[in-house]
C-alpha cells in the first residue's frame, strides 16, 4: 500500500483561491490595509452611484427630506444596463440620492471587490518581496462598470466622449457590469496569490 501525502494536493485554481483567502484574512487583520479597503470601497461606491445617476449634487440645500415612491415594486424594475428602479428620493443639503436597493446591492458588491483588490495591491506593495506590475490591474478592472451608467435613451458616457451609439454598442454596454465583475474576480485571484501573509 503506497504511502499517502498528509497534505492534499491542490490545483492551481484552488491554490489561488486559498492564497487570496489567506491574503484577505491578513488584510483584514491589519489597520492600514483595512483603512485602504474602506477608502477604496467607499470611493468606488460613491463614484459608481454617481455615474449611474443615483447620486447627485443638485439638491436644494435644505434639511433632510425623504420622498417614497407610490409603487415599491419599482425596485425590481429593470432600467437596462444592470440598473434598477428607485423607491425613494433622499435629499440632504446639496446631495440627492435615489435609493434603489438593487443598484445599491450591486454597487456594494462591485465596490467590495474593488476595495479588496486595492487592499491586496497595497499589501503586495509593502511586503518585502515586490509582486509585479499586474497588481494595478485590480484598480483598472473596476472601470468598465463605471462606464455602464445609462440615461433614459442610450449610454450617457457616449455623450461625454462624443461617440454615436449603435444597436451593437448598446448591446455591448449591457455586458460592462458582468465584464467588470469577471475582471475584478480574476484580478483579485491574481494579486491574492502574490501576497504572502508570512512576509507581512
Residues ≥6 apart with Cβ < 8 Å to 51: 146, 147, 148, 149, 157
Closer residue to other proteins in complex, CB, 45/176: 176
Q: Which is nearer to other proteins, 53 or 115 (CB)?
A: 53
Residues 42, 114 contacting (CB under 8 angstroms): no
Q: How many CB atoms lie within 10 A of CB 62?
A: 10
Which residues from 57-116 bind other proteins, rule CB under 8 A?
58-60, 67-71, 74, 77-81, 85-89, 96, 98-100
Q: Are 146 and 48 in contact (CB under 8 A)?
A: yes
Partner residues linked to 133 by β-bridges: none
Residue among 100 and 194 whose Cβ is closer to other proteins: 100
Cβ–Cβ under 8 Å, residues 53 and 149: yes
CB of 179 to other proteins, least distance (A): 17
- Binding other proteins by CB under 8 A: which of 140, 166, 178, 182? 166
Cell of 195: 501576497
**165 scored as a contact of other proteins (CB under 8 A):** yes
Enumerate binding residues for other proteins (CB under 8 A): 53, 56, 58-60, 67-71, 74, 77-81, 85-89, 96, 98-100, 150-156, 158-159, 162, 164-167, 170-171, 173
Amino acid at each position: 500500500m503506497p504511502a499517502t501525502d498528509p497534505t492534499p494536493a491542490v490545483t492551481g485554481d484552488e491554490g489561488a483561491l486559498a492564497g487570496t483567502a489567506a491574503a484577505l484574512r491578513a488584510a483584514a487583520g491589519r489597520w492600514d490595509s483595512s483603512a485602504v479597503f474602506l477608502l477604496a470601497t467607499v470611493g468606488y461606491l460613491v463614484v459608481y452611484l454617481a455615474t449611474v445617476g443615483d447620486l447627485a449634487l443638485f439638491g436644494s440645500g435644505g434639511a433632510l427630506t425623504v420622498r417614497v415612491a407610490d409603487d415599491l415594486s419599482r425596485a425590481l424594475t429593470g432600467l437596462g444596463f444592470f440598473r434598477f428602479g428607485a423607491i425613494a428620493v433622499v435629499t440632504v443639503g446639496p446631495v440627492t440620492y435615489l435609493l434603489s436597493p438593487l443598484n445599491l446591492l450591486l454597487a456594494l458588491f462591485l465596490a467590495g471587490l474593488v476595495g479588496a483588490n486595492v487592499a491586496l495591491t497595497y499589501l503586495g506593495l509593502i511586503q518585502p518581496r515586490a509582486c509585479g506590475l499586474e497588481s494595478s490591474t485590480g484598480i483598472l478592472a473596476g472601470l468598465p462598470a463605471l462606464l455602464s451608467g445609462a440615461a433614459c435613451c442610450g449610454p450617457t458616457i457616449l455623450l461625454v466622449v462624443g461617440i454615436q451609439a449603435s444597436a451593437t454598442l448598446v448591446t455591448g454596454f449591457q455586458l460592462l457590469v458582468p465584464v467588470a465583475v469577471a475582471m475584478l474576480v480574476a484580478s483579485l485571484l491574481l494579486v491574492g496569490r502574490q501576497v504572502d501573509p508570512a512576509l507581512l
